[in-house]
Structure 1
Amino acid sequence: MKKILLIEDDLALSLLYEEELKNEGYIIVVTHDADSALELVQKEEFDLIITDIRMPGKDGIELIANVMGLRKDIPIIINTAYQSYKDDFMTWAADAYVIKSSSLDELKAKIKELIGS
């Protein structure tokens, strides 16, 4: 089974994503901030990282830069409510950029595209 690290500071959304993605057959590890995500990346193996951009403490862009310094081989999906960041060249290091919506279809499709099911 593929293992995904999900970084989402909104607890309700993180529970929804965790349940939906587990139903798709993935192992999901959830954390709510960039610092704990970096600790997990150093300790565990992940097939994919999904991160929000706006979070308390370090934001998702800083997280991506830090992860790239540790593990360039892990695909990263930015999952955010803010379309404006799409034009920020700092987000280009991510493998995909998905705008949050009530449907997780686009996110699920990007996950399958990057790591399969």
Structure 2
Amino acid sequence: MKKILLVDDEDSIQLLYREELEEEGYTVHSAMTGEEALEKLEKVNPDLIILDINMPGMNGIEALRRIKEINPAVPVILCSAYQEFKQDLASWASEEYIVKSANLDELKAAVRKYLP
């Protein structure tokens, strides 16, 4: 079973994404902060990371930079409510950038693209 590390500080997003992704057959591990994501990166060894940008402490852009330093091969999908971050050159290190919405079809399609 493919492992996804879901990094988001919102409980409701964690719950929704976890349910949807587990229904798709993935194992989902959670982190609420960028710091926690870095800790879990080596323990979990995820096949893919879904990463929020706007989080307390270390934001998703900094977490992305550090994740890619540790494991440049792991695909990262940035998922944010803020479309303006898409213009940030630092976000280009991610494989995908998805704007959060209630419809998870785009997110699930991106996950399937990297975890066939």
Global fold match (TM > 0.5): yes
CA distance in 2, matches of 1:65, 1:98: 18
Q: Give the alignment's TM-score, normalised by structure 2.
A: 0.98
Identity over the aligned pairs, expressed in percent?
43
Per-residue CA distance 1:21-74 (angstroms, 9 max, x = gap): 000000000110011110011222110000000000000000000001100010
CA distance in 1, matches of 2:82, 2:17: 18
Stretches of structure 1 lacking an aligned partner (at least 5 in a row): none
CA distance in 1, matches of 2:82, 2:69: 25
The correspondence of residues 98-113 of structure 1 with structure 2, limited to 5 A, is 98-113=98-113
Count of paired positions:
116
Residue aligning to 1:69 = 69
Corresponding residue SS for 1:46: coil
How far the C-alpha of 1:9 sits from its partner, in A, is: 0.5
Q: Could you tell me which amino acid in structure 2 is paired with residue 43 of structure 1?
A: K
Instruction: List 4+ stretches of structure 1 deviating above 3 A.
Output: none
Q: Give the alignment's TM-score, normalised by structure 1.
A: 0.97
Residue aligning to 1:27 = 27
For the pair 1:91 / 2:115, whether they are aligned, the reply is no
Per-residue CA distance 1:92-116 (angstroms, 9 max, x = gap): 0000000000110000000001111
